[in-house]
Amino acid sequence: MDIQAIKQRFGIIGNSKVLELSIDVARQVSPTDLSVLITGESGSGKENFPQIIHQLSARKHGPYIAVNCGAIPEGTIDSELFGHEKGSFTGAHEARKGYFEVVNGGTIFLDEIADMPISTQARLLRVLESGEFIRVGSSKVIKTNVRIIAATNVNLTDAIQHGKFREDLYYRLNSVPIIVPPLRDRKDDILLLFRKFASDFAEKYKMPVIVLDEEAQSLILNYRWPGNIRQLKNITEQISIIEKQRNINAQTLTRYLPQISMSRLPVLLKNQGDNMELSERDILYRVLFEMRKDITELKHLVVEILNDDGTSANMQDKKAQFLDNFDNEFQQDFKKDEDIHIHQPEVDSAEPVPYSDVYEESLSLQQREVDVIKRALEKYRGRRKNAAKELGISERTLYRKIKDNDLDY
C-alpha cells in the first residue's frame, strides 16, 4: 500500500514531506514484530500510527488495544496490564486477566509510556525480553505473544537522567523510532486541515462553512499551535458555532487564539508598554553593583591611610573593625536615602549603560569619610579618644583628619 492510500484509509490529512516520511517508516516496520516508539507533541496525531502498524501487519486479525498509562492509577496499573489472582489485594474478589494476556497474538499500544511507574517498567521490560509475565499475587509464569507500540510526548532521555524512566527499557522500546512532526513544521497542511474541519462542522451543525480571508490565513499559518491538530480542530469548531459571520477576518480569528507564542518568531521579553519599568529596574541593579564596587575601593583607600600608623597585629584588628563599622554605616545611610532618581539615557539596548550616565551624583569618598568621623565624634560628644577607638584609628590620626577637614571638635 502506498503512502497516499494509507493517508486516505486512516483519514490523515497533509502533504508535508516530514509527515510522509513518518508514515513511510510506519509502513516499512509494519510487517515485522519489532517494538516501536512514537514520539511527538501532544495533539500531533500520534494515535494514528499504531493503527497503521497494526492494520498493515500479520497481526491485523488479532486483538488491538490502546492503553493510556497516565490515566491508570499507580496502585492498579500492574493489575490492569498483567492481571491478578483472587485475594491478591483488597477488592480482588476474583481472578482477572490483564491486557497482555487478553491481547495475546495481537498488538498493545501503550500511550504516555513516560507516566508508567518504575516498578511497572521492570515488569514491561521482562515482557519485551522474554514474552513472560506474572499476575499480581501469583507465582505462575505466563507466556504471551504481543507486539508493543509505545508513544510519549516527553523527552525520555531527560526522564532517564532524572531517574524517572529505565534506560534499558528505553532501548528495548526504541527498536524503531517514529517522530510525528508538530503542526508548525507542517505549515502547508494547516489550511488543508482547517478547511476539512470547517467542512465537517458545517455538516454536523447544519450551517454554512466558515472561510478565512487573506489576513486570517496569514495569521493562522504563523501561529505556533502549541496544541497542534487538536487545538486547530477545537478552535475551528468554536468559530463555526459562535460566529454568525461566515467570512472570518484576522481580528475575529485573534479572539480565539491564545496570546502565547503567536508566531514562529522569537518572543520579545519587553514591549513598549513595560519597557520603562524593566529598564529602570535593570539600571537600579547596575547602580547597586557599581556602588558596591565603590565601597571596595574606599576600603582599600582607608587601609592605605591606616598603614601610616603601623602594621602590628593589633592594628590589623583595628583596621578590620573599622572596615566593618564603615560598611554598616554606609548601608544604614543607603536605607535612609528615600529619593533615588534614575534617568534612562537613549542608548542602544545591546550596549551596557555607562554608570556616569545612570547615576549622576557620584559618591564622594572623602565626604563619606568625613561623615563617618563626624558620627563617631557626635556619638561620644567630642571625646576623641573614644571616637578614635570606635573608628579603629589612633588619636593622632583622628586629630590630623579633624584638622585637615576643618571640623569643629
Rounded Cα–Cα distance for residues 61 and 356 (Å): 80
Phi, psi at 209, each rounded to 5°: -75, 140
Q: What region does 139 belong to: left with phi over 0, alpha with psi -120 to 50, or beta?
A: alpha
Topology of the domain covering 184-254: Helicase, Ruva Protein; domain 3 (1.10.8)
The b-or-e profile of 271-280 (16+ CB within 10 A means b, else e) is eeeeeeeeee
Rounded Cα–Cα distance for residues 76 and 116 (Å): 11
Long-range pairs for 192-195: beta carbons < 8 A, 24 or more residues apart: 192/13, 192/14, 192/15, 193/13, 193/14, 193/229, 193/232, 193/233, 194/220, 194/232, 194/236
Do residues 199 and 209 make contact, with C-beta atoms less than 8 angstroms apart?
A: yes
**What cell was used for 114?**
513516560
CATH architecture of 3-181: 3-Layer(aba) Sandwich (3.40)
Instruction: List alpha helices for 30-90, DSSP H.
Output: 48-55, 77-82
Q: What's the pLDDT band for 153 if we cut at 50, 70, 90?
A: very high
Question: 20-45, pLDDT tens digit by residue?
Answer: 999 999 999 999 999 999 999 999 99
Owner of C-alpha cell 556602588 = 291
**What's the count of helices (H) and strands (E) in the chain, helices before strands?**
18, 9
pLDDT higher than 80, residue 409: no
What is the CB-side half-sphere exposure of residue 354 using CA atoms within 13 A?
7
Rounded Cα–Cα distance for residues 327 and 221 (Å): 59
What pLDDT was estimated at residue 43? 94
What pLDDT was estimated at residue 391? 79
The b-or-e profile of 65-79 (16+ CB within 10 A means b, else e) is ebbebeebeeeebbb
Radius of gyration for the chain, computed over Cα atoms and rounded to the nearest angstrom: 37
Do residues 110 and 22 make contact, with C-beta atoms less than 8 angstroms apart?
A: no
Question: 226-235, pLDDT tens digit by residue?
Answer: 999 999 999 9
Q: What's the pLDDT band for 364 if we cut at 50, 70, 90?
A: low
Q: Of residues 47 and 358, which shows the higher confidence score?
A: 47
What pLDDT was estimated at residue 408? 74
| Domain extents in the chain | 3-181, 184-254, 275-335+353-404
pLDDT, mean over the chain: 81
pLDDT higher than 80, residue 270: no
Q: Does pTM surpass 0.75?
A: no
Neighbours of 313 (CB within 10 A): 7
Contact partners, residue 214, CB within 8 Å, separation at least 6: none
Q: What's the pLDDT band for 336 if we cut at 50, 70, 90?
A: very low
- Closest of 57, 15, 7, 20 to residue 36, by C-alpha: 57
Rounded Cα–Cα distance for residues 391 and 106 (Å): 87
Question: 184-219, pLDDT tens digit by residue?
Answer: 999 999 999 999 999 999 999 999 999 999 999 999
Rounded Cα–Cα distance for residues 332 and 336 (Å): 6
**What cell was used for 194?**
482547517
Q: What is the arithmetic mean of pLDDT over 171-175?
A: 94
Instruction: List alpha helices for 131-265, DSSP H.
Output: 156-161, 167-173, 187-205, 214-222, 228-242, 250-254
